[in-house]
Structures are given as structure tokens and as C-alpha cells.
Structure 1
């Protein structure tokens, strides 16, 4: 079993691509998985926290100030700039403005530490951004929703963010406890097996997130093409810009995994937090957004990967 899972870990980038393809060709499975996405995301977070372990997470407290600075830039400064730019052109209420603002306001995707491993980087920097970004989300979304009423009801968003923070806290605490009790020291074969298991979990999750894309291929191909271009440019472009900026600021060792987080955000969180997401166009954007996200370990590895 460990050997088989290790094979999935070795080819994890291609397992993600297989998940994308499955989401397109198996629309019935996508619809069936969609109600279970929240539970699947928490399972993925559990696997990630179990892999990192409490000692490594505590070691990250030495970087708390720098991590907080990056989170505030990602989740507060960037969405406010986005709102201001679209407002200057009178497009603050447009679907594109709403989608990009929500994307920039969201914390890291739960899978970012796993993606960091796939590109040959340490998962800890991405894990710190994931945890801290999610925990302070109830605070960072205050000015975002205040500056852009088009995003929906603020109280609903705060409730959803608090609920997510509690879920993540319990999941991470249980994972750390079980890791300390059962496997305080993991063999390399066990680490690879765990990485393979998370790759499989990621492939399953993306199938459920693709339910809006397949119908649009025949019914609205030009709209699909538009949102695909926007998703690709926003996700991959942010990663390139963040990587360049972080290296210039002295984040030599952690620039790769931190830049990965810049483009890969947990936008799906706002499906239960903002009335602005209850549109066909936002759901289409969310489906298109999975493509650059799941292609990141392949497309961005030459730039963000470990070069040593």
C-alpha cells in the first residue's frame, strides 16, 4: 500500500490533471460529489496538518510577523486596490470586478502545502499562510465588504468565516494530536505515501468543482472562454508577480510556496458567504479557476520549484 501511494505522490502533478479531465467527462459524478466538498476539503486539511506536525508548525512562529505581512498584502491590500481600479472605470458592479475581488479576499486554498511539495518546495511556508490567512479572514473582510456593497451581506460573510475558522481549528488540532501520539517520527516512505493520498484527495475534490464547466462548453462557449482567460491570467499572473516581489524583499527560501498561495485562493468559501456568488457567471468563473489551480504544479514548477 505504501509503495502504491508513493507512486501517486511521485506523479502527483499528473494525478491532478486526471482529476480535471474526470470533472469534464463525468458530469454526473461531479454533481454527486458537490454536496460533500466541505467534508473533502477538511479531510485534505487533516492530511496536510498530519504531514507537517505540531513541532514544524510551532517552528513557524518564528516567522509570524513576516507571514502576517504577506497575508495582509494578499487578503487586504490587493482586493482594496482591485475595488479602487474597477471603481475608477465605473465597473465596480460588474461580474468580473466581483469575481476578482472575492478571489483576492480569500485565504489560501487548503491544498497549497500539498502543491508546494509537488513543485519540490517545503510545505511549511504555504501552511503558515493557509492557517493565519483563514484565522484572520473575519477581520480582513470587514473593509472589503464595506468598500464594495456589491459583494453581499457582511454579517453572513463573517458568520461563514468564523465557522470555517472553527472547523479548521478542530481539524488541525486533531491532526496534530494524532501525529504526536501515533507517528511522532515519520519514515520517508510514509511521508511519500501521505503525499500520494493527498494527491488522490485533490483529484476527487476537483471533480465536484467542475459541475458548471461542462454544460457551458456547448451552451455558452464564448462566455466560458472569457472566464477561462480571466482565471488563467489572475491565478498564474499573480504567482509570477508575487514570486518576483518576494525575492526582492528577501524571501529567498520561501518565495516559491508563498507565491503559489498568491494565485491559489479558497474562493469557494464565498459560496456560503456572499449573495454575489449566486450567479451563473461566478459559478463558471469558479469552475474555470480550477484549471490554473490544478495545473500550477506542472506549469509553475520551472519558476517556483526547488532549483537545488
Structure 2
């Protein structure tokens, strides 16, 4: 088993592609896995915390000033700016406008630490951004809800965000405990084994996340293509803009994790928090949103290396 996980670690990007393909080509499997998503995400968080270790996370949490400021910009400043531009041009009430506001309002996905590991970035810093973003989400989203009443109510979003934060904290605590108990000083081989377990869990989850796209691809292929184009534009545009904006700045050392957090958002929070009729126009987009996120470590490593090395 350890050898298999090490093999998966060495071929991590291929495993992500296999997961995406399985989710699209095996609709029955994807549908059957969907009810297990919360449990699978909790398992992924536990494995990720086990891989990172409490020492790295504690070091990353030593200075909250830049983290809170960055979360404020990403989850409040960016969506408010987008909402203002959309309102000015009269697109705020369109499905595409709603998709943009939702995508930029959400915190970093729970799998963002895995993306950081795959890109060779500081996963401890990434975990800090993810936890801070989720914890402050009920606060940062409040102005967005007030300015966009069609999105949903504060109480709904607060309940959803609180539940997600509780899952993150419990799963992380379990992972740190397992690390301290069984891998206090892991060897290089053990680290590679843990990396393989993390990649495997990340690749399995995407199968279930692809379920909403299966029917749409068969019935509305053009709509899927347009929504996918929008998803890639938002995700990769935010990542590139963040990397370039922070290059050479005081935050250049954490520009990689911040870029991942900027372009890989947990829009699934709104699936739990908002009524189905609100999200109906953007359900295909939510499915397409998984594509750029899971392909980030495959399509963008050169961008991250070039910008971070030049910076």
C-alpha cells in the first residue's frame, strides 16, 4: 500500500486528470458518490493536516496581520469591486454576474492546501488562509448579501459557514494529533506516502463534484463550454493578477498561497446556504468551476515558477 501511495505521489497530476475523466465518463459512479462528499472532504482535510503537521501550521499562524488583510481584500474588496462594475454596466442581475460575485465572495477551497503541495508552495500558509477565510466568511459576505438581496440571507450563510468551519477545525485537529502520534519526525519516504494519500483523496473527491456536469454536457454542450470559459477566466485571471500584483511587494513571500486562495474558491458553500431557485441559473457554472481548480497544478506551474522566481 505504501508503495502504491508513493507511486501516486510521483504521478500526482496524472491522478487528477484521471479523477476528472472518471467524474465525466462515469455518471452513475459520480452520482452515487455525491451524498458522501461531506465525509470525503473531512477525510481530505484530516489527511492534509496529517501531511503538513502542527509545527508548520503553528509557524504559519504566527502573524495574522497579513492573513486577515489578505482575506479582507480577496473576500470583500474583490467581490465589491466586481459588483460595482457589474452594476454600472447593468449586468449585476445576470446569471454570469451572479456567478462572478459568488465565486469571488467565497473563501479558499478545502483542497487549496493540496494545490499548494502539488505546486511546491507553503502549505502551512495556505492552511492559514483557508481557515481564516472560512472563519471570517460570515462577516465578509454580509455586505455582499446586503447589496445583492437575490443571493440569500445572512442567517443561511452564517449557518453554512459555521458548519464548514467546524468540520475544518475538527478534521485539522485530528490530522495534527495523528501526525504527532505516529509521524513526529517523518522520513522522506513517509512524507511521500502521505503526499500520495492526499493526492488520492483529492482525486477521488472530484469524481463526485463532476456529477452536475454529466447531464448538462449531453443536453447543453454549448452552455457548458461557455460556463467553462467563464470559470477558467475568473479562476486563472485572479491567480495571475494576484501573483503579478504581489511580485516584489512586502507579501511576495506568500504571493503563491494567496494566488491559490484568490482563484480557487469554495463556491460549494452557497449550495448549502442558498435556496435552489437562487442557484438554478448557475448550477452548470458551479460544476464547471471544478475544472480550472483541479487543473491548476497541471496548467499553471510554469506561471507560478516564473513569477515567483522573477519576484
Identify unmatched segments of 5+ residues in structure 1.
none
CA distance in 1, matches of 2:246, 2:2: 37
Q: Please, what TM-score do these two structures have when normalized by structure 1? A: 0.95
Contact 2:150–2:278 at 8 Å: present in 1 too? no
1:227-247: CA deviation from partner (whole Å, max 9, x where unpaired): 011001001111000001122
Per the alignment, residue 52 of structure 2 pairs with: 52
- Give the direction of change, closer, same or farther, for the CA distance of 1:278–1:21 in structure 2 (3 Å limit): farther
Per the alignment, residue 86 of structure 2 pairs with: 86
CA distance in 2, matches of 1:88, 1:276: 27
Q: Which piece of structure 1 moves more, 192-201 or 279-288?
A: 279-288
Deviation of the 1:279 alpha carbon: 4.0
CA distance in 1, matches of 2:255, 2:122: 11
CA distance in 2, matches of 1:76, 1:21: 34
Per the alignment, residue 257 of structure 2 pairs with: 257
Identify unmatched segments of 5+ residues in structure 2.
none
Per the alignment, residue 38 of structure 1 pairs with: 38
CA distance in 2, matches of 1:203, 1:281: 27
CA distance in 1, matches of 2:11, 2:63: 31
Give the root-mean-square deviation of aligned CA atoms: 1.7
Contact 1:151–1:276 at 8 Å: present in 2 too? no
CA distance in 2, matches of 1:228, 1:184: 43
Per the alignment, residue 140 of structure 1 pairs with: 140
- Give the direction of change, closer, same or farther, for the CA distance of 1:274–1:167 in structure 2 (3 Å limit): same
Contact 1:15–1:203 at 8 Å: present in 2 too? yes
User: 1:80 aligns to what SS in structure 2?
Assistant: helix
User: 2:252 aligns to what SS in structure 1?
Assistant: coil
User: 1:88 aligns to what SS in structure 2?
Assistant: helix
CA distance in 2, matches of 1:277, 1:85: 25
